[in-house]
Amino acid sequence: MNVKNRFLKYVKIHSTSDDKSTTVPTTKRQLEFANILYKELEDLGLSDIRITKEGYVYGVLPATKGYEDKKTIGFISHMDTAPDASGENVNPQVIENYDGNDINLPNGLVISKQLFSHLEALKGRTIITTDGTTLLGADDKAGIAEILSACAFIIENDIPHCKICVGFTPDEEVGAGADYFDVKNFGCDYAYTIDGGQEGELEYESFNAASAKVTIKGFSVHTGSAKDTMINAGNVAIEFMNMLPRFEVPEHTKGYEGFFHLDEIKGTVSEAYLEILIRDHDKNLFNGRKETIKHITNMLNEKYGENTVVLELKDYYYNMGEIIENCFEVVEIAKQAMENLNIKPLIAPIRGGTDGARLSFMGLPCPNIGTGGFAAHGPYEHISVEGMEATRDIIVEIIKLYSK
């Protein structure tokens, strides 16, 4: 099965995670996908295949005889799709020999060149889109298809190789993809996540990430007698947000610039709630952002009364560059693999989350390689077959380099 057909099969499998669920994994449907992948690993002839009760799938392609002394390398992708948009009843549209113009989706949405300037560079390729009613699932079913297609290529062409480990994780999109990852028994020296971004992307620096959950208790009285008595929790929530730097938000930042992101807001006069994402590549600036949130909380409590504002701060992951800089060959080999294939390495910091960030701090240095996808988490998501094939070839080339 080629990478295109694998991908088209996987996107039709509903495997969306649920950020409100308390189960592990957060949805049973991810286990159903895990069982499908288990069977495919069996069919490919991998060994040591297992599914954990938490929904992780592992498999091993043993080293060719005489190559047992080479480093063990791993490749990881996640099975879930983001709960931001529907991942059920995905109906992919295949556009062959794409003309480089706006793409009209069946439901009337348009993937326009004005919004997506990279479209011109995809001219002549085979493009896969949604029908406009769901996300596509290239994040990260493209990664799974590319890893398994690379393994198939190695096996079918009898290419001598080091030991190769593969791992497929649940719940990455809700920040829990590495929670139960068995780094010790995965048994790799290094690994790569294959997740998101155009072909040639190579990312080894990530955000430091935290969230601030802010609960505001108001004091509700009749509006006719509210003067000097009412505390409107909704207005205090607005005041809280207005005390943050106005332009340090995702829509006004890029590259290494950090931000505060209002991810959720709800409330009434009596109670309001904010969830604010805190991100920065620089550890000192990251800590400074958390101190800003604490300072605003204290100021508002001084103004409105103790415990009017209750803050819960939680760190999620840290910049994996701190770990990877100590074993930089893992980046250099991926870069060399791309150059060997005449693919320009696109090295940039990750402006998002990845399992690799947490896995790096768990003892498995794990940069990320792009899948060839664009516009994830919504109905404009699309990918090219050629992009997936390029990433498959990068994986194969990395294996060859580690096997030398």
From 139, 146, 171, 172, the catalytic residue: 172
Which candidate in 80, 355, 381, 397 is catalytic?
A: 80
> Can 172 be counted among the known catalytic residues?
yes
Packed helices 28-44 and 138-156: angle between N→C axes, nearest 10 degrees? 10
317 within 8 A of 358, measured Cβ to Cβ: yes
Q: Is 55 exposed, middle or buried (0-12, 13-18, 19+ CB in 10 A)?
A: buried
∠ CA(190), CA(373), CA(143), 5° rounding? Answer: 35
Rounded distance between C-alpha atoms, residue 108 and residue 120, angstroms: 21
Q: Where does 84-208 have alpha helices with state H?
A: 138-156, 183-186
Quick one: how far is CA 121 from the chain centroid?
A: 24
Pairing status of strand 57-61 against strand 47-51:
antiparallel
Active site residue 282: no
Q: Copy the structure tokens of residue 391.
A: 């990433």
CA dihedral 354, 136, 341, 330 (to 10 degrees): 10
Do residues 353 and 261 lie in contact, with contact meaning Cβ atoms separated by under 8 Å?
Answer: no
Residues designated as active site: 80, 172
